[in-house]
A and B are shown apart, each in its own frame.
Chain A
Protein backbone atom coordinates (compact mmCIF):
# COMPACT_ATOMS: atom_id res chain seq x y z
CA UNK A 1 0.00 0.00 0.00
CA UNK A 2 3.03 2.30 0.40
CA UNK A 3 3.30 2.53 -3.42
CA UNK A 4 -0.36 3.59 -3.58
CA UNK A 5 0.22 6.26 -0.92
CA UNK A 6 3.25 7.67 -2.76
CA UNK A 7 1.33 7.70 -6.06
CA UNK A 8 -1.69 9.49 -4.56
CA UNK A 9 0.41 12.11 -2.78
CA UNK A 10 2.28 12.76 -6.06
CA UNK A 11 -1.03 13.19 -7.89
CA UNK A 12 -2.04 15.93 -5.48
CA UNK A 13 1.40 17.63 -5.61
CA UNK A 14 1.30 17.70 -9.40
CA UNK A 15 -2.31 18.92 -9.60
CA UNK A 16 -3.70 15.80 -11.30
CA UNK A 17 -6.34 15.64 -8.56
CA UNK A 18 -7.37 18.21 -5.97
CA UNK A 19 -7.50 15.76 -3.11
CA UNK A 20 -8.17 12.14 -2.24
CA UNK A 21 -9.08 9.86 0.66
CA UNK A 22 -9.05 6.11 1.03
CA UNK A 23 -12.42 4.56 1.88
CA UNK A 24 -14.00 1.09 1.77
CA UNK A 25 -12.32 -1.93 3.33
CA UNK A 26 -8.81 -0.40 3.30
CA UNK A 27 -10.06 2.51 5.38
CA UNK A 28 -12.01 0.14 7.62
CA UNK A 29 -8.81 -1.73 8.46
CA UNK A 30 -7.41 1.38 10.08
CA UNK A 31 -9.98 0.81 12.83
CA UNK A 32 -10.80 -2.91 12.82
CA UNK A 33 -8.96 -6.17 12.37
CA UNK A 34 -7.76 -7.15 8.87
CA UNK A 35 -10.42 -8.22 6.37
CA UNK A 36 -10.19 -9.71 2.88
CA UNK A 37 -10.78 -7.26 0.07
CA UNK A 38 -10.21 -7.40 -3.66
CA UNK A 39 -9.17 -3.79 -4.19
CA UNK A 40 -8.44 -0.42 -2.65
CA UNK A 41 -11.16 2.20 -3.15
CA UNK A 42 -9.98 5.79 -3.42
CA UNK A 43 -12.35 8.74 -3.41
CA UNK A 44 -10.91 11.52 -5.53
CA UNK A 45 -11.77 15.19 -5.85
CA UNK A 46 -10.98 15.93 -9.48
CA UNK A 47 -9.88 19.27 -10.91
CA UNK A 48 -12.53 19.34 -13.67
CA UNK A 49 -15.57 17.46 -12.35
CA UNK A 50 -17.75 18.44 -15.32
CA UNK A 51 -15.48 16.78 -17.88
CA UNK A 52 -16.91 13.71 -19.60
CA UNK A 53 -13.98 11.44 -18.73
CA UNK A 54 -12.80 12.74 -15.38
CA UNK A 55 -10.56 9.75 -14.71
CA UNK A 56 -8.44 9.93 -17.88
CA UNK A 57 -5.72 12.24 -16.39
CA UNK A 58 -5.45 9.83 -13.44
CA UNK A 59 -5.09 6.79 -15.70
CA UNK A 60 -2.53 8.62 -17.86
CA UNK A 61 -0.51 9.58 -14.76
CA UNK A 62 -0.55 5.95 -13.58
CA UNK A 63 0.45 4.66 -17.00
CA UNK A 64 3.47 7.02 -17.10
CA UNK A 65 4.65 5.35 -13.90
CA UNK A 66 4.10 1.83 -15.21
CA UNK A 67 0.83 1.17 -13.37
CA UNK A 68 -1.57 -0.32 -15.88
CA UNK A 69 -5.34 -0.79 -15.91
CA UNK A 70 -6.66 -4.15 -14.79
CA UNK A 71 -10.40 -4.41 -15.29
CA UNK A 72 -12.07 -1.52 -13.47
CA UNK A 73 -8.92 -0.78 -11.50
CA UNK A 74 -5.25 0.15 -11.90
CA UNK A 75 -2.73 -2.36 -10.54
CA UNK A 76 -0.31 -0.66 -8.13
CA UNK A 77 1.98 -3.23 -6.55
CA UNK A 78 -0.15 -5.72 -4.60
CA UNK A 79 -3.29 -3.62 -4.92
CA UNK A 80 -5.84 -3.13 -7.69
CA UNK A 81 -6.82 0.51 -7.07
CA UNK A 82 -10.26 1.86 -7.99
CA UNK A 83 -10.53 5.62 -8.35
CA UNK A 84 -14.02 6.88 -7.60
CA UNK A 85 -14.80 10.58 -8.16
CA UNK A 86 -16.63 12.11 -5.17
CA UNK A 87 -20.25 11.55 -6.15
CA UNK A 88 -22.28 13.33 -3.46
CA UNK A 89 -22.19 16.04 -0.81
CA UNK A 90 -21.42 13.29 1.72
CA UNK A 91 -18.39 11.95 -0.17
CA UNK A 92 -17.06 15.45 -0.92
CA UNK A 93 -17.27 16.27 2.78
CA UNK A 94 -15.61 12.94 3.64
CA UNK A 95 -12.59 13.90 1.52
CA UNK A 96 -12.46 17.41 2.97
CA UNK A 97 -12.53 16.15 6.57
CA UNK A 98 -10.24 13.15 6.00
CA UNK A 99 -7.52 12.30 8.49
CA UNK A 100 -3.90 11.53 7.71
CA UNK A 101 -3.04 7.93 8.42
CA UNK A 102 0.47 6.59 8.80
CA UNK A 103 1.70 3.76 6.59
CA UNK A 104 5.19 2.94 7.82
CA UNK A 105 5.99 6.66 7.82
CA UNK A 106 4.19 7.52 4.57
CA UNK A 107 1.10 9.73 4.96
CA UNK A 108 -2.12 8.42 3.44
CA UNK A 109 -5.37 10.36 3.66
CA UNK A 110 -8.24 8.25 4.97
CA UNK A 111 -11.87 9.10 5.64
CA UNK A 112 -13.03 9.26 9.26
CA UNK A 113 -14.83 6.31 10.81
CA UNK A 114 -18.15 8.19 11.06
CA UNK A 115 -18.08 9.01 7.33
CA UNK A 116 -17.10 5.42 6.55
CA UNK A 117 -20.10 4.16 8.52
CA UNK A 118 -22.58 6.61 6.99
CA UNK A 119 -21.35 6.01 3.43
CA UNK A 120 -21.79 2.27 4.13
CA UNK A 121 -25.33 2.94 5.39
CA UNK A 122 -26.11 4.89 2.23
CA UNK A 123 -24.97 1.99 0.03
CA UNK A 124 -26.84 -0.57 2.12
CA UNK A 125 -25.51 -3.96 0.97
CA UNK A 126 -24.98 -6.77 3.48
CA UNK A 127 -21.22 -6.18 3.47
CA UNK A 128 -21.79 -2.48 4.14
CA UNK A 129 -23.91 -3.29 7.19
CA UNK A 130 -21.14 -5.66 8.34
CA UNK A 131 -18.73 -2.72 8.06
CA UNK A 132 -20.89 -0.54 10.29
CA UNK A 133 -21.13 -3.37 12.84
CA UNK A 134 -17.35 -3.87 12.78
CA UNK A 135 -16.67 -0.15 13.26
CA UNK A 136 -19.07 0.03 16.20
CA UNK A 137 -17.65 -3.10 17.79
CA UNK A 138 -14.10 -1.75 17.49
CA UNK A 139 -15.20 1.43 19.25
CA UNK A 140 -14.12 3.51 16.23
CA UNK A 141 -17.43 5.35 16.10
CA UNK A 142 -20.37 5.99 18.43
CA UNK A 143 -24.05 5.71 17.61
CA UNK A 144 -24.42 9.44 18.25
CA UNK A 145 -21.70 10.29 15.70
CA UNK A 146 -23.37 8.08 13.09
CA UNK A 147 -26.81 9.42 13.94
CA UNK A 148 -25.73 13.09 13.74
CA UNK A 149 -23.93 12.66 10.44
CA UNK A 150 -26.74 10.55 8.98
CA UNK A 151 -29.24 13.25 9.94
CA UNK A 152 -27.18 15.99 8.25
CA UNK A 153 -27.22 13.97 5.03
CA UNK A 154 -30.88 12.86 5.11
CA UNK A 155 -29.98 9.27 5.92
CA UNK A 156 -31.83 8.95 9.20
CA UNK A 157 -34.25 6.37 7.78
CA UNK A 158 -31.30 4.19 6.68
CA UNK A 159 -29.80 4.50 10.17
CA UNK A 160 -33.12 3.58 11.81
CA UNK A 161 -33.50 0.63 9.45
CA UNK A 162 -30.01 -0.56 10.41
CA UNK A 163 -30.73 -0.22 14.12
CA UNK A 164 -34.03 -2.01 13.74
CA UNK A 165 -32.33 -4.93 12.04
CA UNK A 166 -29.22 -5.28 14.16
CA UNK A 167 -29.79 -3.85 17.61
CA UNK A 168 -31.31 -5.99 20.31
CA UNK A 169 -34.53 -4.52 21.62
Chain B
Protein backbone atom coordinates (compact mmCIF):
# COMPACT_ATOMS: atom_id res chain seq x y z
CA UNK B 1 0.00 0.00 0.00
CA UNK B 2 1.19 3.50 -0.77
CA UNK B 3 2.88 5.24 2.15
CA UNK B 4 0.64 8.33 1.99
CA UNK B 5 -2.54 6.20 2.13
CA UNK B 6 -1.09 4.21 5.02
CA UNK B 7 -0.38 7.45 6.89
CA UNK B 8 -3.98 8.64 6.39
CA UNK B 9 -5.36 5.30 7.64
CA UNK B 10 -3.08 5.39 10.66
CA UNK B 11 -4.26 8.90 11.48
CA UNK B 12 -7.89 7.82 11.10
CA UNK B 13 -7.38 4.83 13.41
CA UNK B 14 -5.75 7.03 16.05
CA UNK B 15 -8.64 9.50 15.84
CA UNK B 16 -11.14 6.64 16.19
CA UNK B 17 -9.30 5.32 19.28
CA UNK B 18 -9.28 8.77 20.86
CA UNK B 19 -13.05 9.06 20.31
CA UNK B 20 -13.53 5.65 21.95
CA UNK B 21 -11.68 6.85 25.07
CA UNK B 22 -14.12 9.70 25.78
CA UNK B 23 -16.37 9.36 28.86
CA UNK B 24 -19.32 7.01 28.41
CA UNK B 25 -21.88 9.69 29.32
CA UNK B 26 -20.46 12.00 26.66
CA UNK B 27 -20.58 9.30 24.00
CA UNK B 28 -24.22 8.58 24.89
CA UNK B 29 -25.05 12.28 24.48
CA UNK B 30 -23.30 12.21 21.09
CA UNK B 31 -25.38 9.16 20.14
CA UNK B 32 -28.62 11.02 20.95
CA UNK B 33 -27.47 13.97 18.82
CA UNK B 34 -26.63 11.61 15.92
CA UNK B 35 -30.02 9.89 16.21
CA UNK B 36 -31.78 13.29 16.07
CA UNK B 37 -29.74 14.34 13.04
CA UNK B 38 -30.57 11.08 11.27
CA UNK B 39 -34.28 11.45 12.05
CA UNK B 40 -34.19 15.01 10.71
CA UNK B 41 -32.47 13.91 7.51
CA UNK B 42 -35.02 11.15 7.00
CA UNK B 43 -37.86 13.66 7.38
CA UNK B 44 -36.17 16.37 5.30
CA UNK B 45 -34.07 14.60 2.68
CA UNK B 46 -31.72 16.67 0.60
CA UNK B 47 -32.92 17.12 -3.00
CA UNK B 48 -29.64 15.47 -4.00
CA UNK B 49 -30.84 12.18 -2.48
CA UNK B 50 -34.46 12.32 -3.59
CA UNK B 51 -35.60 9.76 -6.10
CA UNK B 52 -35.12 10.84 -9.67
CA UNK B 53 -38.40 11.17 -11.56
CA UNK B 54 -39.07 8.57 -14.23
CA UNK B 55 -38.43 9.80 -17.72
Contacts and interface: CB of A to CB of B under 8 A. Distances in A.
Interface of A: 1-2, 25-26, 29-38, 78-79, 101-104, 137-138
B24 A29 contact: yes
A25 B28 CA distance: 10
Contact of A101 (B16, B17, B24, B31): B24
Interface in B7-55: 16-17, 19-20, 22-25, 27-28, 30-32, 34-35, 38
Which DSSP category, helix, strand, loop or mixed, fits chain A's interface? Answer: loop
Nearest to A29: B27
A36 B34 CA distance: 6
Interface residues of B, number: 16
A34 B35 contact: no
10 contacts: A1-B28, A29-B28, A30-B27, A33-B22, A34-B31, A36-B35, A102-B24, A102-B25, A104-B25, A138-B17
Contacts of B32: 78-79
A78 B28 CA distance: 10
Contact of A2 (B20, B22, B25, B31): B25
A38 B31 CA distance: 9
Contacts of B22: 33-34
B25 A1 contact: yes
Sort A-B residue pairs by CB-CB distance and give the 7 closest, nearest first.
Answer: A34-B30, A33-B19, A34-B27, A29-B27, A36-B34, A33-B20, A103-B25
